[in-house]
Structures are given as structure tokens and as C-alpha cells.
Amino acid sequence: MGSATHVSVVFQEESSLMLTLSHIDKHFGGLHVLQDVSLTVPDGSIFGLIGPNGAGKTTVFNLITGLLRANAGAIEFNGRNLGDVPPHRITELGIARTFQNIRIFKEMTLLENVIIGMHDHLDYGLPGALFFLPGFRRIERRARERALELLSWVKLDGKAGLLADNLSYGDQRKLELARALATNPKLLLLDEPVAGMNPAEKTELMAEILNIKARGYTIFMIEHDMRFVMGLCERISVLNFGRVIAEGTAQEIRSNPDVIEAYLGREEAA
């Protein structure tokens, strides 16, 4: 897997680190969910977080997006500490996320779901909406166009007017991805993007994610499907019982005895 040439539009003075977790600790009462977790997601890369169920992977995402606060350690994004950022300001900073158990808005159409992602960027207020001001009309029109474009990236543009509730499971996941892209992020957090998809859909999504990365986005994903992870991720971190037990390239992880034992050991105990 060669590395794509990545052209930075903005000259970054700092190193190309994008997201850094340093010695993160998270516990609920006596239950330690994460212990001394550190990892780095480089700018423009595809980074994977894997590990057996319950290892604490989604908690990492919850900490990054401000839904939870770490008990110790720091999370930095492009040099900015995320410790005190509330969830509704996370998109402002350029982080978007999909969810393990899909949280699309079922009573809205696909188009509306994607447009909601642009909420922060729609620059009009109550008067604009009430009086059909030109600014309002222009912004709404552009939002629709952009939403259709994003839906076409995941091949859902044909269903733009349907209610999201009517979609198949795999399509709902793709909708969540389009909606996340609508927030105009620099970093995409994907929580099990292919769970429940059939092999054909997975292959399709793999290609779509490579396209997205080629457009300059950074992707940080949690996934269980090993073929998917190994095929896409440049670097991978492995979490087990809340601790990082290995980090490296797909090749290194695949042959790491600790990793193998973590997965096999769980199977034996079950």
C-alpha cells in the first residue's frame, strides 16, 4: 500500500500531528475504563483503534468529543487542549463523528440529515428566515447543493428525499458518514463504520473512505472487521482492558503476539 501524495493547502508551521492523547485515565466509580492511554493521529492519515469488546474504544471517542471528561491526562487537537470544550463546539474545531449504534435523525429526510451537519455554517438568523431575505435563500440553496454532493460521495443522492427511517442498515451508516462530512471537519471519528454491512457494501465503503482521505481529511476509526482495518489504516493502536497493548503498522500489529493473545484469550474465556 503506497502512500498517496498529500498536498497541504495551508502551510503548517507545527509538525503534522493532528490529534494527541497523552496518558488518558478514565474511571467510573471504581471501574477503570481507560488507563494511561496515549496515541497520536497524524494529519491526513487513516488511523485505526482496535481491541476486543469492552476495551474502552468508544469511551475514547466520547472523551474526544466532550461527552465525557477524562480523570487524568490531556487530549490535544491541532495544538488546542480539548479538556474544556463542550460537545456543541466540537464541530467548530473541526471534529465530526459517527456512532456505534447509528444516531441519524429518523424523522428527517436524507437531505435534511446532511444539512443539519452544516448548522454552524448557515449564517442567517430569525429575520432572514421570516422574511425570505436573499441571504437566507442563497444560503439554503447552497446548503442543498452541497448536501446532494455529499450524498453522491456515498452514493445515496438518489434517495435524498426519502425519510431516513426507510433506509437499510448499511445505507444508514453511509448517511451518518455524509452527515459527518457536512460539518466540514478536519478529523473524522468513525465508530464501527461497517458494522452490519454485507461484504459488497464494505468493499464499496472502503473505496469511498480512500476517496475521502484523498480529499485531505484525516480519519480515525474504531472497527472490528480486520480486513477492513488492515486494508485501510496506516497506523493502528490496540486497546485491551483499557490499556494500549500495541501500536504500529498493520503488518506489525498482525504479527504481534500480545495482540493475538488478547483476541484469542477473550475467545477462550468466553
Binding site for another protein (CB under 8 A): 65, 67, 86-92, 96-97, 99, 103-108, 112, 115-117, 119-120, 122, 124, 126, 128-130, 132, 136, 140, 163, 179, 183
Residue 18, classed as helix, strand or coil, is: strand
Q: Which is nearer to another protein, 70 or 230 (CB)?
A: 70
Q: How far is the CB of 197 from another protein (least distance, A)?
A: 20
Which residue do the cell numbers 435523525 mark? 105
Q: Closest CB to another protein among 192 and 246?
A: 192
**The C-alpha cell of 1 is what?**
500500500
Nearer to another protein, 24 or 90 (CB): 90
| CA distances, 209 to each of 141, 180, 188, 205 (Å) | 27, 13, 10, 6
Q: Which is nearer to another protein, 74 or 133 (CB)?
A: 133
Is the Cβ of residue 63 or residue 236 nearer to another protein in the bound state? 63
List the 31-42 sheet strands across, edge first: 31-42, 17-28, 72-77, 80-81
Number of alpha helices (DSSP H) and beta strands (DSSP E) in the chain: 10, 10
- Rounded to whole angstroms, the Cα distance separating 247 from 217 reads 22
Nearer to another protein (CB atom), residue 120 or residue 258:
120
Query: At closest approach, how far in Å is the CB of 230 from another protein?
Result: 28
Q: Does residue 73 contact residue 24 with C-beta atoms inside 8 Å?
A: yes
Place of cell 447509528: 102
Query: How many Å apart are CA 52 and CA 67, to the nearest integer?
Result: 22
CB of 23 to another protein, least distance (A): 25
Q: How far is the CB of 183 from another protein (least distance, A)?
A: 6
**Nearest residue (CB) to another protein, 29 versus 257:** 29
Between the alpha carbon of residue 103 and those of residues 71, 150, 151, 239, the distances in Å are 27, 18, 17, 24
Shortest distance (Å) from residue 18 CB to another protein? 18
Residue 120 CB, nearest approach to another protein (Å)? 4
Distance (Å) of CA 188 to CA 41, 65, 78, 221:
11, 11, 14, 8
Beta carbon of residue 94, minimum distance to another protein (angstroms, whole number): 11
